[in-house]
Every structure is written in structure tokens, then in C-alpha cells.
Structure 1
Amino acid sequence: MTPVHSSNVDETMRPGLDRSAFTEAMARFASGVTIVTTVDPDGVAHGFTASSFCSVSLDPPLVLVCLARSANSYAAFAGCDRFSVSVLRADQADLALRFARKGTDKFSNGRFVTGTGGVAAVDGALALLECTSDRTFDAGDHVILLGRVHHARVDEGSPAIYFNRTFRTLVDR
């Protein structure tokens, strides 16, 4: 069977997709929760909550994260040279909610530390990945940020899990 690449498929051949069904289907995919941060050339910190995050490569160590073009922080990340990814603990869901909102002071309350690359990171995160920007890719109404990991730190604890539009925790059985 020959793979079909989206650029080779005539748009009229695609079956209709119910947008709400697609959204509901994606809500059923459980994922970890991260806060991604950077600093702009003026030294101003920016960040957003992301569940679209994954490891891409071990050699070289690469991760990706997806950001909506409509996000207030889009311009800062589209041109950044470095960013940090903080993997959240179950008890840090309030931070995820704060960073998911527009128009809030995301870095208030002093729950951040400065990483080795000079970018703020969540204090006490389950894991921290500090990255240099490698490339960006257009992806519909989002952009994919590819980062080369140059520093990683891990800690023990339970992860924040997002499933069906709410935060959950893992239960050992």
C-alpha cells in the first residue's frame, strides 16, 4: 500500500469531519500537562500551558510542543532562541489553568525559578527540560516548536493528567 501524503490528496476527496466530534475525540486522549516558558529580547517572560508535548529524538535530544497562533505569547515563541518545558505535578493544576488564560499575570505568586538558560521554570516541577530552539513548523492554526534539550532535571511525584477537560491523577493498582 502506498502512503498518501496530505499534500497529494484533493480536498474534495476528504470526507466531511464533524468539528465537535473531532474536539470530543481529542478530549478523550489523556495527556500530561506542561508549562512552556521563554523570555523575549526585552527580558519579559512569556508562557503557556501545553498538553501537546512529546519526545522526538534521543540523539540528538529533541522535544516538540505545539502553540496556537492565536496565543498572546505566539510572537515571543515564534522568534525565541530558547525555551523551557516544566512537566507539572498533580498539585500544580492551578498553574496550568493560570497559564491557559489570556490577560492574566502568569508569573505572579513567585512559584518560579530561573533555569540555566535564563528562562523562568516552574519551581518544584516534576521534570524540567531546558531547550534551544531548533526549528518551527507550520501546522494549521498552530505552530510546532522543536527544541534541542541541553539540560534536564527530574524529581519524584505524581504527574498532572488532563483528560476529558479536567485534571486527573494516576492511581496505582
Structure 2
Amino acid sequence: MELRDCPADGTELRRAFGCFPSGVTAVCAIIDGEPVGMAASSFTPVSIDPPLASICVQNTSTTWPRLRNQPRLGLSVLAEDHTEAAISLSRKVGDRFAGVSWAELPSGGVFVDGASAWWDCRVYAEVGAGDHTIVLLEICALGAAPSTPPLVFHGSRFRRLAMVMEERNEDH
């Protein structure tokens, strides 16, 4: 194993971060009668009591300032067949919801249809962290479809999980 200093442009650091697979989430709400949302691949479960999760948002995001003050946000774990939805929700310009099937909650949160899991959340806290903001979300309601495989982001590509079957030794 070789260690190198982290270059100032972040190229090697991005490449190394890309070695860690992550799920892909969508954070969405209704604003002025229209769905507004973004993809986030930095979702992390944080706490059971209180129920908290986190996402990281680039400080240059133009979408997060629109979402942050909403009373509720829908957080969806995108399923393995949501590659096009993830790409659409990641766009910098244009209709991010073009071709994305979604549902609005009475709270104003928006979920992507067919997600692996979904949470109705509100912003709990924000913590500045370099060129990103760590957003803690308090989970108010939830749903899950554990048999629906998630979409995975690894090596700057969307991927699917593969089932690995272990042989069991009956003699132990």
C-alpha cells in the first residue's frame, strides 16, 4: 500500500471516495405547487433515539436553499431500477422530475414511486463541513420495501447489488 499526499485539486481524493459504495437517495418537497428535489449519495443513518439520518449537500447547491426551509421533506432510497430517476434528479438545469414517477404526502414531502425505503423528515440541524453542509434530518414517518434492492453508486457509476450465496458447512 502506498500513501500519497492529498493533492490540492481533489482528484485523487474523489477517486478514493469513489471506492466506497453508497446508496442513492432523493430529497424532495412540493414548493409553490411543483416538485423540487435533488439526488444525494451521501445518506447515512445517524440515530434511533431520536430518529435521525443525514445527507451532505454541496455549499454551491441552488436546490438546497429552496428545500431547507420546507416544513417536511421526502427522502427516498432509490431502487435498482431508478437509474434514470437518479440521473434526472442530479441535473443542474431542466425539469428534474421529467420521467420520474412520484407521490406527494399531505405534509408536502415528495417520494419517488417504487423506492426501497422512504422517510417523511424535517430539518433537525445543519453543520458546516468544508465545501459541504451536513444536514441532520429528523424522521417523522417512514415506510420500507426491504425486498426492493437499492441503487448503488460506486466508482462514479450507478450499479446493482449482486446476491452472494454462502455455502453452509453442516458439520460444525
Question: Does residue 36 in structure 1 map to residue 27 in structure 2?
Answer: yes
Look up the equivalent residue of 1:69 and give its one-letter code.
N
Match of 1:130 in 2: 120
Alignment partner of 1:84 out of 59, 74, 80 = 74
Alignment partner of 2:95 out of 80, 102, 105 = 105
- For residues 64-94 of structure 1, the C-alpha deviation after alignment (integer angstroms, 9 at most, x for no partner) is 1111121220211333332111001111011
1:110 to partner: Cα distance? 5.5
Q: Given the superposition, is the C-alpha separation of residues 109 and 59 from structure 1 closer, same or farther in structure 2, using an over 3 Å criterion?
A: same
Structure with higher helix content: 1
Look up the equivalent residue of 2:18 and give its one-letter code.
A
- For residues 26-72 of structure 1, the C-alpha deviation after alignment (integer angstroms, 9 at most, x for no partner) is 111101111111234x3443211111111110011001111112122
Match of 1:52 in 2: 42
- For residues 121-162 of structure 1, the C-alpha deviation after alignment (integer angstroms, 9 at most, x for no partner) is 101111101101111111222111111101110112111011
State how far apart, in whole Å, the 2-side matches of 1:60 and 1:116 are: 23
Question: Does residue 166 in structure 1 map to residue 152 in structure 2?
Answer: no
Conserved? CA contact 2:52–2:138, under 8 Å: yes
- For residues 2-44 of structure 1, the C-alpha deviation after alignment (integer angstroms, 9 at most, x for no partner) is xxxxxxxxxxxxx95212111110111101111111234x344
Match of 2:57 in 1: 67
Question: Aligned Cα RMSD in Å?
Answer: 1.7
Conserved? CA contact 1:39–1:76, under 8 Å: no
State how far apart, in whole Å, the 2-side matches of 1:21 and 1:115 are: 41
Identity %: 30
| Structure 1: gaps spanning 5 or more residues | 1-14
Alignment partner of 1:119 out of 109, 113, 117 = 109
TM-score using structure 2 length: 0.85
Question: Does residue 17 in structure 1 map to residue 31 in structure 2?
Answer: no
Look up the equivalent residue of 2:13 and give its one-letter code.
F
Question: Secondary structure of the equivalent of 1:94?
Answer: helix
State how far apart, in whole Å, the 2-side matches of 1:166 and 1:110 are: 19
Question: Secondary structure of the equivalent of 2:162?
Answer: coil
How many residues are treated as equivalent by the alignment?
Answer: 158
Look up the equivalent residue of 1:56 and give its one-letter code.
V
